[in-house]
Structure 1
């Protein structure tokens, strides 16, 4: 039941922030800025030093307001470590069936990365909850629309290259949510501690997602 509620929370917001290698001393401020902007899920990539304690900290601090999970997960062992740290979901750039199995075993949301129709169907049959179309910039919004013809029953979430310029088209073409990294996590703004810029950008994304629906 909790998992279904969490999937609903993720898709209602429609916006997942991809936080790659943040500095430990800034993660709480980054998280707060994004949550205030309406982000539904925070993904911290597992190549981040101290990622599991970061997930644990953010989950404890913001868990009631936002989903927190791990990204760039390539195997089941890493997925288990992320789940032990409190992850609500597991993001992968690939399809690894053992990772999907591990995620499902603990009742968490599985979001593997796919590109071809065959990968999409195989991952969905293996139990994936949402399919991350990655890298989305290589295929563009029309690709989602084309996939929705034969595979309309499978929830898809483009990630990689999603921006304020194309998010409307991705949602209109059938994406249930989008994963956004660089556009949302403005490096210079973070460096200068101008976290309000992250909030403003998130609000723009959320507003565009709402109107596209």
Structure 2
């Protein structure tokens, strides 16, 4: 049941912090978002120390934080991430071997897809969420609205330029989960906490 439990944690959080180049501050970022009510974080494998960062987060925060691995492009890297404790896989592309491994180890998989056909094929192969990449961040919310019209059940994680000012717009367009990078990577712990609280309030008010 752990895939179901992890998926529910991601949905309940409604947002996740994306850490691409700030692993030296990752414990501070994690502390800030959890205090603010966001309890999911993704550590990009573009960082050389991503495996160690994932382990640190799992050890320090335990059940308070769901920790995933991002920018996973192949099965070998996915297996490494899972071995270091990754609880979900986030990627800019769809890979069938990564999907199989995620299903084997019962963790959510969110691949990036460039078309409706690819998104549906990824769902059929077991993907938990879909990220429209790179066009979501380029075109904006209109693309999400267009996709959700014929496929309202498409479970979307969207990232790329999402912040406090436009988060509600993305939710209204149909994004189910918000991936947030730079907003949560800047400032002190208390400043990150305040920003996370604002995002938490936006998500809760929209869902209610």
> Which position in structure 2 is the counterpart of 1:197?
191
Q: Greater share of helix residues, 1 or 2?
A: 2
> Which position in structure 1 is the counterpart of 2:165?
165
The alignment status of 1:55 with 2:49, answered yes or no, reads: no
Spell out the pairing of 1:8-27 with structure 2 (5 A cutoff).
8-24=8-24, 26-27=25-26
Q: Which runs of 5+ in 1 are unaligned?
A: none
Deviation at 1:17, TM superposition (A): 0.4
Whole-Å separation in 1 of the counterparts to 2:166 and 2:74? 31
* TM-score (normalised: structure 1): 0.92
Whole-Å separation in 2 of the counterparts to 1:146 and 1:160? 18
Whole-Å separation in 2 of the counterparts to 1:50 and 1:89? 18
* TM-score (normalised: structure 2): 0.94
Deviation at 1:183, TM superposition (A): 2.1
> Which position in structure 2 is the counterpart of 1:155?
155
Whole-Å separation in 1 of the counterparts to 2:185 and 2:9? 21
> Which position in structure 1 is the counterpart of 2:131?
132
Whole-Å separation in 2 of the counterparts to 1:20 and 1:2? 26
> Which position in structure 1 is the counterpart of 2:206?
212
- Structural RMSD (CA): 1.3
Q: Size of the alignment, in residue pairs?
A: 206
Whole-Å separation in 2 of the counterparts to 1:88 and 1:148? 27
Whole-Å separation in 2 of the counterparts to 1:40 and 1:131? 20
SS at match of 1:179: strand
> Which position in structure 2 is the counterpart of 1:29?
28
Higher relative contact order (CA 8 A, sep 6+): 2
Q: Which runs of 5+ in 2 are unaligned?
A: none
SS at match of 2:67: strand
> Which position in structure 1 is the counterpart of 2:106?
107
Whole-Å separation in 2 of the counterparts to 1:115 and 1:138? 12
Deviation at 1:207, TM superposition (A): 0.9
> Which position in structure 1 is the counterpart of 2:2?
2
Whole-Å separation in 2 of the counterparts to 1:103 and 1:6? 12
